[in-house]
Structures are given as C-alpha cells and as structure tokens.
Amino acid sequence: MTQLTVHTRATPAGPVIELSGELDNNSAPDVRTLLPRLTLQAGQQLVIDLTGITFCDSSGITVLIAARNRALAARADIVLAAVPGRVSRMLHIVGLDQVFPTHPTAQAAAAAWTPPTSE
C-alpha cells in the first residue's frame, strides 16, 4: 500500500506543498486533485518540498509537470526544494532539471523569491 502525506501551507511567496512518502501511480492522483485548489497569484512561486519523498516513479514526475503547468497558467513560478538524489537523477535523465529550479530547502526557495514590482 502506497503511503503519501501531503501538507500545504501559504507563505508570502506562494503556496508550499510538502510531500512525504511514495509519490507513485497510486498516490499521484491525490496531489493532482490538490493543484486546482491552490491559491496561486501571478508573480508568486509554488514550492514543492520533496524532503520526505522516499520513492518517485513516472507518475510522480507527471504530477510535478502538472504542478508546473498550474503555476504557468497562474503566471507564477515553480521551484522544487530538497530534491532527493534518486529523484534528481531522474529529472536529469529526462531533461527536467533544466525546467525545474531547485533549492536545498523550502526556506531557501522562499528566501530566493523576488516579489513582483508594481508598474
């Protein structure tokens, strides 16, 4: 049985999704269902914190791409935080390391965020 724990929290930079456990074919729909319900403003960033991920398959990667699509539709950015080595390797193999900026922690991602300037 696949176990995935999902926590979300709001920050001034944007929402943070914290994932722990196995992100796979059985658990990915739970995360995908959450995405449209996120409050994400233009200029913010969506942080996906992978600190607790113990396993990720292609369904998990597909969810990350869906999250990116959600962020782009909101005219926001997306970053990954605390990407485990195995997941980082998979992202590199399929070329998504060029698509997803990464940070060592969610806090580092928030610190790197630059608020949009009003014109």
Residue-level length of the chain:
119
pLDDT, tens digit, 9 for 90 and up, residues 66-92? 999 999 999 999 999 999 999 999 999
User: Is residue 38 within 8 Å of residue 46, measured between CB atoms?
Assistant: yes
Query: Nearest to residue 54, comparing CAs of 19, 29, 14?
Result: 19
pLDDT band at 115 (very low <50, low <70, confident <90, very high): confident
Rounded to whole angstroms, the Cα distance separating 56 from 114 reads 30
Rounded to whole angstroms, the Cα distance separating 50 from 89 reads 14
pLDDT, tens digit, 9 for 90 and up, residues 25-70? 999 999 999 999 999 999 999 999 999 999 999 999 999 999 999 9
pTM of the model: 0.93
